[in-house]
Amino acid sequence: MIATKIDGRAYAEGLRERVKQAVQALPSQPSLAVVLVGEDPASQVYVASKAKFTVECGMRSLEHKLPADATEDDVVSLVRELNADEEVDGILVQLPLPEGLNSDRVIEEIHPDKDVDGLTEASAGRLSLGKPGLRPCTPTGCVMLAKDELGDLSGKNCVILGRSILVGKPAALLFLEQNCTVTIAHSRTQNLENVCRSADILVAAVGRPQMVQADWIKAGACVIDVGINRVPSKKRPGKTRLVGDVNYLPSKAVAGSITPVPGGVGPMTIACLLRNTVIAACSRRGWKAPTVLDF
C-alpha cells in the first residue's frame, strides 16, 4: 500500500479562490494589516507572500514596517493605532520579533476581534470554551486537510504529537470540536510509539526532524505533518533541505494518507489567515458570514 499524498498546495489554492469569491460578495473590501519589525530575511519573504495573496483575493494589504531598533513601546503603540482604525479588519504581527522585544506583550495588545492569527489569550479562551472567535491558522489547516481526506471525523482517534500553544494545544481543541477522541502526546508520554500507533489521525508537531518512524503509524492512518525542519542535503553538499517531523518515504508504505513537507500543511497557514480576515471583517461590520468559507 502506498499512501495518498495530501496536497496542501492544491487545497490552499482552492481555499484562496473561495476567499476571493466571498470577498466579491461583500459590501466593501476587508483589510489586513501586517506589522514587520526589523530586517529578518525569512520574515520579509513571509510578509511579501501574505501581501501578494491578500491582494489577489481582492482585499487591502496594509504593511507597516518598523526598524530593527524599534522599542517594544513603539510596536505596542502601532498595534494600538491599528486596533483603533475602523478600516483595519485584521492585524498580524510577524514573528519572531527582534531580540529584546517581548512578543507575548505585543500579541496581547491585538484586539481579539482583529486577531487573525488567533494567538491572544482571549482567542485561546474562546476556542477553549467553544465560543465563536478567530482560530489559529496552522491548526485549522490541519483539520481542514484531515476532513477533506476522511470526511466526517466523528469518533476518530486523533493523536496530537506536541503540546505547543501555537499548534499542539489548539489543534487538540479543534479536532475535539469535530467529535474526535483526542490524545495529546509529548516528551513525557510513556510508550510514545504505541500511543501514536493508536491514531486514526496522527498530527506530528514537535519540531524534531523525522522523529516519527513508519512503525509508529497505524496501517491506513491519516498523517498530518506540521514540522518544517532544515537538515543537510544528501545530494548537495553544503546545502540544506526541508523535512518534516515524520520520516516520509518509509511512512508512505504504512499510512493511508500523508502530507508531504514541503507542500502539505505549510501553504494552508496563509490561506487560513485570509479566511480569518474575511470572517473578522464580517463579524466586525455586521455582514453575513459567507457559507463558501465553511468546511
Query: pLDDT at position 21, please?
Result: 97
| Residue 66 DSSP one-character state | E
Region of residue 63 (phi > 0: left; psi between -120 and 50: alpha; otherwise: beta): beta
Domain 27-112 falls in which CATH fold? Rossmann fold (3.40.50)
Given 89, 115, 117, 225, the catalytic residue: 117
Query: pLDDT at position 289, please?
Result: 87
Given 50, 114, 218, 252, the catalytic residue: 50
Q: Is 252 a catalytic residue?
A: no
- pLDDT exceeds cutoff 90 at 239: no
Could you tell me which of 224, 205, 53, 243 has the C-alpha nearest to residue 141?
224
Q: Is 94 a catalytic residue?
A: yes
HSE on the CB side for 213, CA within 13 Å? 4
Query: pLDDT at position 96, please?
Result: 93
How open is the CA angle 158-170-246, to the nearest 5 degrees? 50
Domain limits, the chain: 27-112, 136-267
Q: Is 117 a catalytic residue?
A: yes
What homologous superfamily is domain 136-267 in, according to CATH? NAD(P)-binding Rossmann-like Domain (3.40.50.720)
Given 94, 115, 218, 252, the catalytic residue: 94
Percent of all residues in the chain with a pLDDT value above 70, rounded to a whole number? 100
- pLDDT exceeds cutoff 80 at 1: no
**What is the dihedral sign for C-alpha 260, 116, 40, 49?**
positive
pLDDT tens digits for range 26-79: 999 999 999 999 998 989 999 999 999 999 999 999 999 999 999 999 999 999
Query: pLDDT at position 236, please?
Result: 86
pLDDT tens digits for range 137-189: 999 999 999 999 999 999 999 999 999 999 999 999 999 999 999 999 999 99
Could you tell me which of 80, 92, 85, 86 has the C-alpha nearest to residue 54?
92
